Structure 1
């Protein structure tokens, strides 16, 4: 009943521990019945609050009417008021986003500014039970997984939704009983937007067949929130068992993943943080039966089969830069690590065998040196081999994974490769009995 709304309102805030009654809450009020009633409930409950209204200047006289209504209500309730006018169309043109995205970004950026500067602990929006059910149904049709089925969360960081406990009908009845004026946004009437279609077409049909549909779905949503906690706890155990990090590469053991049950769900959750969509998950699972070298590119990462592992590495969008090394430079920092360079007399020094150290005959090397990533078509004469060999073939023989191959650098002198950095010196610049001066280069990551 409308007269019990205030009691139910305060009880739900206490049950969910949305905020401390001593804290100030910034109320986002549009002028519609939901947010207007929310402001009245805060006042009736004796909570400390302020009102924030955004005028997006998109609906002409309606926008001005809504602002005037909110100003009058704030005066009636004797609550602090914050109002802003946005040139939303200019924001759309500048950022090339939809009007809905522009309004949301402008709104929440400004609300957060007001919250922090005004000493408010939280921002409250007037989402109610139907809104949460609509969101869950929309997410269900889009296939967002279990995380999308919990509807709208009552609390997320500094954002709270204190009306999720009640249906819209009770808010409208409360406004009518107390003669509270509110505005109706004409954009809420059209079915042009997906949410409005669910609101005006889908949910009313469900309620015709099942009168308690909204309440029943809301109760299910509450259970889904708790089920999600158990689900995430289980997933965390699988992540620890299946996901290993080495630098910026993540490794998943093929055999362990193949034996995992339920495979589809765990694989979806495992690779989703790496930009993998639900449609790409079967492609990734296809790598479990493929040969090495096959891969799937997501929006942000590459997932590649490498022997008994799936390797997940970030996609690099920019071409690797060239590093020019002039005579006298001793320390060079680059994308793959760093080099230390010095010249020294040959003398009786023993040639090092570590792959991270290159000793080159200084007489066979010309500056400037060029440091770059290897590319297809590159070749060199590997130390100890009389014939040239393609770098790509050499890397295959070294049994490097694709991510490892992509991070191999070469050092050039006079347009010829003199060193696969950290791997093999070119035979044409090796130390010989005739060498007098050594160019010593040490690689470290």
Structure 2
């Protein structure tokens, strides 16, 4: 097949509609056989291209030699050459990521910058059939669901993979047939990286047992890609039936979810976008049979059982600040809305009963007042009650959901809570016959 590789290459690009032959493509070239073969194929096919090389400076002199070699290849092929050197180890330290993640982030960010600045239509990487099979197998073992089984896609936004149709062995044979030299990255030899383990240990064992394993799996991957379209259409219908948004909160009706078939798959697709791992799906489903208040935390959200709903709320990113209110402050903006504050002489006006209005005896309130989120251990004397009550218990009695409880603010004066904002004032600061001046506070959410 090496002698027919160029024909198959052009046919694949046309069939997948990867790019218009008149467009200019930026080739990501490391110096290995895959990317070098890709550069030669682009040249032989007559496509306009440029070569880009990243030097991650992780292998001392070897990295510099790779850069020099790729520059020579670009000159031999008469293609524009772009290169960059990264302090990858410094990036790892600064961002606390693995070397693999650092290299990928640095690489694609820089390639996109070059693509946009130099007028290239797409960035081409040299991923081949075996890379796609390795990806699908790795995703299968990680439990990513059907979306992870389509392997590497031939086109994603500005990235194209024009070699997915062919195997690694064919690229090596093509290089040998045309006396094309290339360099081997020594880091590809070790099995300490997950992908290399699959490449050197898993795939060869499968090929020994089933000589056509890679091509057979690649064919299955293609069928999975098509099946995924049907799958996603069905998933979207379930999302519309089960997922409802109210502000920052998403709601799932418990009864409808319990009756859904297939439950595990539907639950996985519903909660996966909210940071839920495959291992946590069963924990979330256990909430269907739990009492209100139980919850499961994912990496980004909290899934809470609240009566007949599962509520999905984002995790708080930081603690709410304290707001200090001085005597001359007429208007306060805060995380829960705004307060309008004024003093007035007591007259014949009836005391308002709306929860958003608090009328307090000004003589019982000391400045500065503190506006803050409530916390465990807080208590007050609810209006009309002679005994104190924990705010946590009061909120339970009000039948608030966990997200609603987390958004409750209190107004504090002289280290005592005088108002649960928008809900109840403290009995100790209420209006009495002796009140002369009223402190009027209006809450506007």
Alignment of 1:15-414 (within 5 A): 15-414=15-414
Q: Aligned partners of 1:327, 1:294: CA distance in 2, in Å? A: 42
Q: Aligned partners of 2:121, 2:343: CA distance in 1, in Å? A: 63
Q: Aligned partners of 2:89, 2:364: CA distance in 1, in Å? A: 64
Q: Aligned partners of 1:331, 1:66: CA distance in 2, in Å? A: 65
Q: Aligned partners of 1:155, 1:415: CA distance in 2, in Å? A: 62
Describe the superposition over 1:266-296 as per-residue Cα deviations: whole angstroms up to 9, x where unpaired.
1111111222111111111111111111111
Q: Aligned partners of 1:396, 1:90: CA distance in 2, in Å? A: 50
Taking a change above 3 Å as real, the CA distance of residues 96 and 393 of structure 1, as seen in their structure-2 partners, is closer
SS at match of 2:432: coil
SS at match of 2:19: coil
Describe the superposition over 1:348-398 as per-residue Cα deviations: whole angstroms up to 9, x where unpaired.
223222111111122221111111111222221222223222211111111
Please give the TM-score of this superposition, normalised by the length of structure 1.
0.96
Describe the superposition over 1:147-172 as per-residue Cα deviations: whole angstroms up to 9, x where unpaired.
11010111111111111111112211
Aligned partner of 1:424 in structure 2 is 424
Q: Aligned partners of 2:147, 2:135: CA distance in 1, in Å? A: 12
Shift of residue 418, structure 1, vs aligned partner? 1.1
| 321-330 vs 185-194, which moves further | 185-194
Please give the TM-score of this superposition, normalised by the length of structure 2.
0.96
| 254-263 vs 201-210, which moves further | 201-210
RMSD across aligned C-alpha pairs, in angstroms?
1.5
Shift of residue 430, structure 1, vs aligned partner? 1.8
Count of residues in Structure 1 that have an aligned counterpart in Structure 2: 445
SS at match of 1:101: helix
Q: Aligned partners of 2:254, 2:94: CA distance in 1, in Å? A: 46
Q: Aligned partners of 2:433, 2:92: CA distance in 1, in Å? A: 71
Q: Aligned partners of 1:92, 1:239: CA distance in 2, in Å? A: 38
SS at match of 1:440: strand
Gaps of 5+ in 1: none
Gaps of 5+ in 2: none
Shift of residue 3, structure 1, vs aligned partner? 2.4
| 10-19 vs 82-91, which moves further | 82-91
Q: Aligned partners of 2:379, 2:438: CA distance in 1, in Å? A: 24
SS at match of 1:360: strand
SS at match of 1:280: helix
Describe the superposition over 1:163-194 as per-residue Cα deviations: whole angstroms up to 9, x where unpaired.
11111122112211211111112222222222
Once superposed, which parts of structure 1, at least 4 consecutive aligned residues long, lie more than 6 Å away? none
Describe the superposition over 1:210-230 as per-residue Cα deviations: whole angstroms up to 9, x where unpaired.
222111111111111111121
Q: Aligned partners of 1:58, 1:6: CA distance in 2, in Å? A: 34
Shift of residue 317, structure 1, vs aligned partner? 4.2
Q: Aligned partners of 1:311, 1:18: CA distance in 2, in Å? A: 42
SS at match of 1:320: coil
